[in-house]
Structure 1
Amino acid sequence: MIVIQHNCNGTAVSTIAALEAAVERGAEVVCLQEPYVGKKHAIGHPGFQIRWPECAKRETRVALAIRNDALDRYVFEERTDLVDSPHIQCLDVWETVNRRKARRTRLVNVYNKARVQGGGYTMDHVDVSRLIEGRTILAGDFNARSPLWDPWVAGRQNAGTVERLIEKRELIINNNDHQPTRCGKNCRSIIDLTLSTRRVGALVTWEIDESLATTSDHEVIVFEWAPLNAAVAERQINASQNWNINRLCSDEQALEAASEHWLELSEGRSLINAWDTSPTELEAEALWIQDSLRAVLDRHAAGRAPRPRSKHWWTEEIKQQRRLFGSARRAYNDGRTSFDEYRRVRNDYYTHIRKAKRLAWERFLEGVFPTDESSKLASDPARCWQALRYTKPQVPSHTPAIKVASIDGQPDKIASTAEEKEGIFMAQAFPPQVVDNEDIQIPDTSAGVSVKQVREALFTQSVNKAPGLDGIGFKVLRLLWQWAEDRVVALVQGCIRTGFHPYTWKTAKGVLLRKQNKPTYSVAKAYRVISLLNCLGKVVERAVAIWIASYCETNEVFHRGQFGCRQGRGTSDAVAQLVAKVENAWSQKRIALALLLDVKGAFDRVNKQKLLLRMIQVGMAGNIVRWVNSFLSDRRAMLVIDGRTGETRSIQAGLPQGSPISPVLFILSVSAMFQWLEDRHMKLQAISFVDDIGLVTECDDVEEGARKLEHIARDAIQWGSDNKADFEVSKTEVLVFSRRRGILQATKDAAIRIGEQTFTVKQEATKWLGFWLDSKLSFKTHFENRIASAKGALQRVSSLSRSNGGLSADLMRRVVVAAVTSVALYGSEIWWRGQKDRVKKVQLLLNSQHRS
């Protein structure tokens, strides 16, 4: 494995130049010290996944960049359980054989900062006994000088800790003691060290690559350790396909050839009879379509193997400037030129990079293709939305070590390896359920879907949705519809008529995503798993979802207070109903109280048996019930964590997040609870948006209301227990709505008890469904937060409009309306009453928009 280490001196130019050097040298990992950290955005690169310490970005002094195509050949485990510091990162790199772990090398990225909290240097506060174990390499800026590794220093400067570490751990110094790693105006020094343990031995390669110099005064260091064996060193083939569907669709000749190829493959293969078919035939047809499509795409849409690429503005002109800078740097180090001349060439190099980056951004915003100076403005309006995405902070895709709370007062456990994390997230996303052997009598009734509904199920799904394991996305399925509409319709109708979901479509690829704005990402609950399913299977799922939603609306199966996953019923409608209930209570001189509950796990914990019984109870067709039973049976999943795909495991639980049918099945599963509660409690109104539930009631005084909410909560939890639907009791919130000062004063002493937990009345505004609800329903906090968010969005959007280049006025207006105005006025149909103070603030925001 090839690794680059470099101190970037905190500049964006040096950081990008170091990553570009890694692309050219073929380095899989880059250890960066003092990388650029902007006020709003961290640095990014299309060829690398950049990992930062789990702390505020402004405090960090290190970063690890892992080349994207290396994620499938190695297993990278970030060991935040061994060191959790903004100045040190620990990465276990596992070489693999047949995609299984074979040998571990620990890579420690160090910036030995002085005067850290607690005194001394960073290395003084590290437990090296745990950190340096087996095959370990420490690479970084140690900020220490000693004759042990630096012949240019007469004495010792801050070297005690590092010297003791080298001696005690018998570390090998891989540096060349005749090559300084930092060249300042008046001195040369070796402070960037690469140390390895005896288990690693001396590195195969250690060199300073002067041809890849950046504007930092530190050198670019390249080192390599020996691979496990020659076979392991070879590039393993990525199992995922890299088809170029866009190129195929834009090339009429290639598209015609692909169509003819499909006709050749399907010649002689008869269509299935949707009205008289069997699960075996449906399974075979689904597998044949999948294999045939892949064969067509392999021949006519073959793309390039994935490889790291440079930023598009990193041109040959910049490389030439780098060569000139490298020559000037060598001349200065050898005493053949002055520092002023060296600095002039360095500044030219720096200026060329900044200019190239700025021009590329301006050309992109203006729609000018960077390779053609005379190109006219592009007319594609999607450019503005892509530009808007670029202004948002990047969300990290990796996971630190995960803490697992222990019971009985034992210390928390730490999951640091890929296998340990996989086990935790599988248990959270797909919790095991007790198998209910209750015999269900499914009625012998049938319902089907029309060709129009099948077409709707296919074409209403975005072509940008990620495909499942087979790699076949909706853009390919739209081509298939042109080539074999009758075959697609027959398969979809046959699956629904038979009540069977092919096994080929049941293996999900689980992708781990971070939830937004969590205080820490070292706990499993800060993540969610999204299931990427077979897209042709999603067409069947969408068709059944449309049928179920239509049936439930027609037969009034859903509760009137259920919002979300229902056409024309959004969050604003749910909050408007709550406001209406509260204002009705006020009109009768009463107070209103709300109990906000959250269904635990929601989709992940839906009980299949209870769901099927509910479907039968409301009179759904037997084949629809059988299809849902088939869809939720014999499922499998594999998790992708930090680029590594885990083992395929059988799962029993819940509804897959990512399926188009899961939302409607979830709200169907809980729909009976709301009417049941309203029947048991007078003046209660149940309002919900998917799994966020608000139970609103009214009473004459706070104490009476508190007791009433306790009874409502007890009954809701009892219903959940009887129907295998648990609540996240710890997330419960209690609200009281009144404009009378005496009532609000009384709420400070009020509390309700649910099980073993006690909840007080919230005194500050509470966020529910995107709205900040205060006790007087003034929405003052909501308005202030929306205006603040809009101002932040305006700052980002302003960078898209410049006096000397930027988006056109028309595109800029679209972006401002979508990203700023809509944010500020979210929910205004509820809170807007022409308040003068709000008029003024909205007008100031509009004025700022016009100026930007």
Structure 2
Amino acid sequence: MEVNYDTIIRVLGPQGLRAQVREQEGLKEAFNWLVEELQRIAEVATPRKKANRGHGSPWWSVEVQEAQGEARRAERECKAAPSEHNKERLNQGLRALAATINKEKTKTWRTTMQKATHKTDLLWSLERWARCRSFAPPDPPKLPALTGPPGGQDLSTQKEKAEALARRFYPNPEADLSDIEDPDLLEQWVPKFNIEEKVTVGDVRAVLSKISPWKAPGEDHLPIGLLKACGRPLFKVLAVLTEACFRIGWFPEIFKRAKTVVLQKPGKEPSTYRTPGGYRPIALLPTVGKVIEALVAERITSAAEAYGLLPAEQMGNREHRSTEVAIRLVVAQVQEAWRQKATASLLQLDISGAFDTVNHTRLLATLRLQGYPQWVVLWVKAWLSNRVAILHFDGQKTEDIPVIAGVPQGSPLSPILFILYIASLYQALKTAHPLVSIVGFADDTNLLAFGKNPDANTQQLEKAWKTCLQWAGTRGMAFAAQKCELIHFNKGRRQWENPVALAHPGASGYSTVKPVESARFLGVWLDWKLSWRAHHQAVERKLKTQDFALSRIAAKTWGPSLSRAREVYVKCIRSAIAYGASSFHQPTAPRATGPKGPAKVLSKAQNRSLRIVVGAYKSAPIRCLETEAWVPPLDLYLNKRLADFEGRLQKQALQSGAGPEAERITTGHLITEACNKVYRSSDETHEGLTKAQSSLLSQARIGDIGLRDYLFRVKVPEVRTPYCECGRGRETVEHLVAWCPDPPLQRPWDGREIRSHRDLQTVLRGVGARSRRFVRKVLGWLMDSGRLLEYRLARRLELETVDGEG
């Protein structure tokens, strides 16, 4: 988006808004005026994108049009005189048209992939499409008719669907609030700590810097990028208005409207899409309101951490905690239980609609009990009240739907409020069941029981489950027993089969949960022996999609540049491989012959991807692929990842930045920077090269290239000799470039420039700016020589693209 900064400063200005507001009515008018001004600025400085009114296929060209004309003429002649000759001519025309369309589609796709080298947003949108959507059928233009009540008709109208979806997305569960003495917050209370109401320009700037600029906005159509572009004048206005909101405990009504887009949940059975459970709401909130919410969230979070209001076992939405820390905690406790000759059992709980069922009265009472100042609690009360949602689906939108319960997902304030809300569950469990360990990540709650045998564990888990039900009854929440999973961890040869009986609310029966061999836990798969076999099998299944995505956007002779293809691999595929390595990876010993454990299996996935990134043949040695792509062996990368994880765990002890440990970390940082410098210098060799040129360069360096010497060595049937047509030596890159007396094309360089094997290696390695320029001549000559058939189409498309741009 292009923004005219001069227009923004002129229209808004540092004095363009009445900042002195002391009452709610004046503050309301100020926010309304601010939104109107921002929308006017957007109209003046950034014109709206024109509506999509349809467009021609990007692959349509003059050649396609001519082939279509020939096919249509043949069709008319065949209809007028249906002879064998005319029928054959029609078939030829149709085949020619299909071939021309396929050719133009290929050309357009490969040209688009090449443009992605210089357009980062295009590259990642294509990567996401290839990974998530290219293999899936398109979403239907409308939601299918939803299954109606038993004995009733299906819900087919937009109104009927909206009512069913609203009941699913915005429930209003009952909760036992009898223990709350002042539910309306009419009485004063003494806070246990103070939180400053003052908001500065620096606070607003810091919050905006953490928010992605071009996420979809709400009904006001004002993206965060526009707010950032407005700069200090807007920051000053927002600071004054936000501070006034804090002072009077109020939140603007215009920011409580959520534009909610209804999307399918991917990978479900077709029958699931006939129910509201097959869809998820994506709430788009006004961006100015999200800035205010983020400022409150930072204050509430800082106080919660400073005064110990959050349980240590809660790993979600907290600094220095992550899913990998939670995984390590569970694994370490199980292994310690085994060392103590004890057993461990994990019960994963599921809270139905966790965020959507938060009771507002209970949440406010929780904040008050935890000691938050009155202005914070009253502001949160105003923020929660009178919220509405507007569902968007089937090309239409619904009327306003009141949201009675829950905290809006998509708001930066909701995560911290939820983990404060659920903190009392952790305290109740620790008090009543000291031998049960709790590990949580936001709404994911997991109970880990220890005992002499699995029977003892199941008894503890059943009692802890009843405590969870009692807590849920006072919050209006529900634990779904049918979605809970149980694992008995065991080092023996036989898996324990002791089930756990989970009581239903109100003593109305039990649900029996049988133990499973493996279960998904925060993104990794834990099996009952902690062998990680189930995890690396799941990763391999996932990598089939990841590899498919990489192969769709990059190949040997087309696609984005090598550095961009490497970036896709490192950020998407390798990160998927390495997730959870802090728990499952076995560090490689200094003199070990290769990786061990899951890394040994997962290394094959890296090798497959690197062949696509580098554009090399299957016979290319693995170490050569890693060198060309500047990607270390997977086990060494996982070693580093594990070491970094351990370093983060020790970070709190190293805040002083002194001592031998801190010195080792500093030394490691310097070594990493030195390695990155070497990579940047090697990457300069490929700078400005197309994917086909980079692939050819890598093949020439490795030696496995489509010339006779290599093809004869790998026993290609059609190649009967490894020697060049001149008969003077084996057909290799060095022979053709430097020694062949009868080259397929005249060399566009002086023969004295490459006189030895060392000279050729200097050129291919790009040592110096002159060599990097010279290597382009060599690569272009090899492509035009006709000896490398796989590069003919790539060279022709490259020349056609250059001619078209010219």
Letter in 2 for 1:847: N
Offset, 1:655: 0.8
Match 2:123 to one of 358, 370, 384: 384
2:148 and 2:483 map into 1 onto residues whose CA distance is: 18
Cα shift readout 1:772-813 (whole Å, capped 9, x = no counterpart): 111111111011111232233113202322232212111111
Q: Which residue of 2 aligns with 1:347?
A: 95
1:618 and 1:800 map into 2 onto residues whose CA distance is: 52
1:509 and 1:606 map into 2 onto residues whose CA distance is: 20
Q: Which residue of 1 aligns with 2:687?
A: none
Offset, 1:446: 5.7
Q: Within the alignment, does 1:688 sit opposite 2:426 as a pair?
A: no
Cα shift readout 1:316-369 (whole Å, capped 9, x = no counterpart): 55344434432332222222771222222222322222222211221222228x
Offset, 1:514: 2.2
The structure carrying a bigger helix percent of its residues is: 2
Conserved 8 A contact 1:447-1:497:
no
Match 1:414 to one of 147, 151, 154: 154
Offset, 1:496: 2.4
Letter in 1 for 2:581: S
Letter in 1 for 2:276: A
Match 1:489 to one of 239, 253, 274: 239
1:302–1:792: structure 2 CA closer, same or farther, 3 Å change rule?
A: closer
Report SS of the residue matched to 2:516: coil
Match 1:260 to one of 3, 10, 13: 10
Q: Which residue of 1 aligns with 2:703?
A: none
Match 1:423 to one of 137, 158, 163: 163
Conserved 8 A contact 2:520-2:526:
yes
2:162 and 2:80 map into 1 onto residues whose CA distance is: 54
Q: Which residue of 2 aligns with 1:583?
A: 335
1:510–1:618: structure 2 CA closer, same or farther, 3 Å change rule?
A: same
Offset, 1:504: 1.1
Q: Which residue of 2 aligns with 1:627?
A: 379
2:254 and 2:62 map into 1 onto residues whose CA distance is: 48
Match 1:329 to one of 58, 69, 75: 75
1:772 and 1:411 map into 2 onto residues whose CA distance is: 41
Q: How does 1:128-277 map to 2 (within 5 A)?
A: 246=1, 248-249=2-3, 254-263=4-13, 269-273=17-21, 277=22
Match 2:358 to one of 589, 600, 606: 606
Q: Within the alignment, does 1:735 sit opposite 2:495 as a pair?
A: no
Q: Within the alignment, does 1:784 sit opposite 2:537 as a pair?
A: yes
Offset, 1:849: 2.0
1:673–1:423: structure 2 CA closer, same or farther, 3 Å change rule?
A: same
Report SS of the residue matched to 1:521: helix
Report SS of the residue matched to 2:604: helix
Report SS of the residue matched to 1:468: coil
Q: Which residue of 1 aligns with 2:477?
A: 725
Q: How does 1:661-810 map to 2 (within 5 A)?
A: 661-741=413-493, 744=495, 747-755=496-504, 756-810=509-563
The unaligned stretches of length 5 or more in structure 1 are 1-245, 369-377
Q: Which residue of 1 aligns with 2:319?
A: 567
Deviates further, 721-730 or 571-580: 721-730
2:432 and 2:142 map into 1 onto residues whose CA distance is: 46
Cα shift readout 1:537-563 (whole Å, capped 9, x = no counterpart): 000011111111111111111111111
1:482–1:339: structure 2 CA closer, same or farther, 3 Å change rule?
A: farther
Offset, 1:255: 4.3
1:311 and 1:492 map into 2 onto residues whose CA distance is: 49
Report SS of the residue matched to 1:338: helix
Moved over 6 A (4+): none
Offset, 1:456: 1.8
2:231 and 2:376 map into 1 onto residues whose CA distance is: 24
Letter in 2 for 1:838: P
The unaligned stretches of length 5 or more in structure 2 are 588-594, 613-806
Conserved 8 A contact 1:473-1:535:
yes
Q: Which residue of 2 aligns with 1:831?
A: 584
Q: Which residue of 1 aligns with 2:347?
A: 595
Offset, 1:403: 4.5
**Number of residue equivalences:** 582
Offset, 1:397: 6.1
The structure carrying a bigger strand percent of its residues is: 1
1:765 and 1:460 map into 2 onto residues whose CA distance is: 37
1:516 and 1:569 map into 2 onto residues whose CA distance is: 29
Q: Within the alignment, does 1:360 sit opposite 2:108 as a pair?
A: yes
Conserved 8 A contact 2:349-2:479:
yes
1:269 and 1:507 map into 2 onto residues whose CA distance is: 24
1:260 and 1:343 map into 2 onto residues whose CA distance is: 66
Conserved 8 A contact 2:222-2:286:
yes
Q: Which residue of 2 aligns with 1:318?
A: 64
Conserved 8 A contact 1:398-1:641:
no
Offset, 1:760: 3.2
Letter in 1 for 2:26: E
Deviates further, 492-501 or 389-398: 389-398
1:838–1:727: structure 2 CA closer, same or farther, 3 Å change rule?
A: closer
Conserved 8 A contact 1:425-1:524:
yes
1:749–1:262: structure 2 CA closer, same or farther, 3 Å change rule?
A: closer
Conserved 8 A contact 1:545-1:664:
yes
Conserved 8 A contact 2:201-2:236:
no
Q: How does 1:94-109 map to 2 (within 5 A)?
A: none
Deviates further, 714-723 or 754-763: 754-763
Report SS of the residue matched to 2:390: strand
Q: Which residue of 2 aligns with 1:454?
A: 204
Report SS of the residue matched to 1:563: coil
Q: Which residue of 2 aligns with 1:164?
A: none
Q: Which residue of 2 aligns with 1:655?
A: 407
Query: Structure 1 length as normaliser, TM-score?
Result: 0.65
1:603–1:268: structure 2 CA closer, same or farther, 3 Å change rule?
A: closer
Letter in 1 for 2:421: S
Q: How does 1:65-84 map to 2 (within 5 A)?
A: none
1:555 and 1:255 map into 2 onto residues whose CA distance is: 43
Q: Within the alignment, does 1:841 sit opposite 2:624 as a pair?
A: no
Q: Percent identity?
A: 26
Conserved 8 A contact 1:594-1:697:
yes
Q: Which residue of 1 aligns with 2:678?
A: none
1:267–1:823: structure 2 CA closer, same or farther, 3 Å change rule?
A: closer
Q: Which residue of 2 aligns with 1:198?
A: none
Calculate the aligned-residue CA RMSD, in Å: 2.4
Conserved 8 A contact 1:592-1:737:
yes
Q: How does 1:452-601 map to 2 (within 5 A)?
A: 452-519=202-269, 520-601=272-353
Report SS of the residue matched to 1:297: helix
Offset, 1:851: 1.5
Conserved 8 A contact 2:358-2:475:
no
Conserved 8 A contact 1:279-1:502:
no
2:216 and 2:127 map into 1 onto residues whose CA distance is: 21
Q: How does 1:16-27 map to 2 (within 5 A)?
A: none
1:546 and 1:597 map into 2 onto residues whose CA distance is: 29
Q: Which residue of 2 aligns with 1:278?
A: 23
Offset, 1:831: 0.9
Cα shift readout 1:235-294 (whole Å, capped 9, x = no counterpart): xxxxxxxxxxx1x32xxxx5434543445xx97653235xxx222122111111111222
Conserved 8 A contact 2:259-2:390:
yes
Q: Which residue of 1 aligns with 2:775?
A: none
Report SS of the residue matched to 2:371: coil
1:439–1:714: structure 2 CA closer, same or farther, 3 Å change rule?
A: same
Q: Within the alignment, does 1:432 sit opposite 2:172 as a pair?
A: yes
Q: Which residue of 1 aligns with 2:38?
A: 293
1:439–1:270: structure 2 CA closer, same or farther, 3 Å change rule?
A: closer
Cα shift readout 1:415-435 (whole Å, capped 9, x = no counterpart): 222111100111111113559
Conserved 8 A contact 2:74-2:86:
no
Report SS of the residue matched to 2:19: coil
Conserved 8 A contact 2:283-2:409:
yes
